[in-house]
Amino acid sequence: MNYELFQASRIGARREQQDRLGHWSSGEALLLALADGMGGHVRGELAATVAVETLGAAFRAEARPRLADPAAFLARAVARAHAAIAQRGRELGLGDSPRTTLVACVVQEGRAWWTHVGDSRLYLIRDGRVAARTRDHSVVQRLVDAGRIREEAVAAHPDRHKLLACLGGPVAPRLEPPASAALVAGDLVLLCSDGFWAPLSERQLLTALIGRRAQEALAALVRLAEVRAGRDADNLSVLALDWRGPDGSGATTAAAGAEPLEATRE
């Protein structure tokens, strides 16, 4: 596989950093994971740490060197992470279960599979447009989907922090089947917490990437998101894959006539 990774994490205006990021490679498969601990509950940073570590451990155990079924792996690993968070909370005698959002992506054989819980997002950016994006498990996303508010109003909506699903807590989330898409050279797979995406419009995100190396553009976007959020800046984190191709030659391209993107549910 031929790719470059970029990651950045900032504390923003918060007292502690509750975002956690991780990436693991077996040579023939790659796992990316980002968790955003929920500050409205006890020990959000613990939930995020357990979630990312659980996925990493599962990947190391099963990617030998490929995963037999990436979609099934993600479903199992995320369910295992929820159970591990609940167990850790019981072991520590916490009055409330730690909770976190999560977004994770597997890349193998030139294809990406992804899943998420909560409002941490994955963007697949191709040829200057958002080719695919996760839909937040949140009250405001439902309002957007119902046509009651515009996407641009999400960041300022009073219910923007109300989530409909998370890892941890008394009820296991009902996971959607992981989505997948074939990758072509030049694709950018971007995982991020809401502290990164909320202060930025989609146009700002895409415009910053035009004519610049992904690493340079994303570093600038992290700074811009923190500045725009100001005193309300949340923890903000980003983990990105700049895909060059399935092997060292980077031969896969998005030239005219290439197969159009079809993000599918497994």
pLDDT in tens, 247-266: 754 333 333 333 334 445 55
- Confirm if 166 and 99 have CB atoms less than 8 A apart: yes
**What was the pLDDT predicted at 253?**
34
Q: What is the pLDDT of residues 196-240, one digit of tens each?
A: 999 999 999 999 999 899 999 999 999 999 999 999 899 999 999
- Secondary structure letter of residue 261 according to DSSP: P
Partnered with residue 107 across adjacent β-strands are: 30, 112
- CATH number reported for the structural domain that contains residue 188 in this entry: 3.60.40.10
Residue 107 resides in a domain = yes
Residue 266 resides in a domain = no
Residue 141 resides in a domain = yes
- Confirm if 71 and 180 have CB atoms less than 8 A apart: yes
**What was the pLDDT predicted at 266?**
52
The helix/strand/coil state of 5 is strand
Tokens of 223: 């700074």
Residue 265 resides in a domain = no
Residue 88 resides in a domain = yes
**Domain around 89:** 2-244
Residue 257 resides in a domain = no
Mean pLDDT rounded to a whole number for the chain: 89
State the Cα–Cα distance between residues 160 and 155, nearest whole angstrom: 6
**What was the pLDDT predicted at 95?**
77
Q: Which residues lie below 8 Å from residue 132, measured CB to CB, with a gap of 6+?
A: 122, 123, 124, 179, 181, 261, 263
**What was the pLDDT predicted at 38?**
92
The helix/strand/coil state of 123 is strand
Residue 194 resides in a domain = yes
**Residues belonging to the chain:** 266
Q: What is the pLDDT of residues 117-157, one digit of tens each?
A: 999 999 999 999 999 999 999 888 888 878 888 777 777 77
**What was the pLDDT predicted at 40?**
67
**What was the pLDDT predicted at 156?**
73
Count of beta carbons in the 10 Å neighbourhood of residue 216: 12
| Number of compact structural domains in the chain | 1
State the Cα–Cα distance between residues 130 and 86, nearest whole angstrom: 35
Q: Is the pLDDT of residue 11 over 70?
A: yes
Tokens of 266: 């497994």
Q: How far apart are the first and last CA of the chain?
A: 23
Residue 253 resides in a domain = no
State the Cα–Cα distance between residues 63 and 61, nearest whole angstrom: 6
**What was the pLDDT predicted at 258?**
33
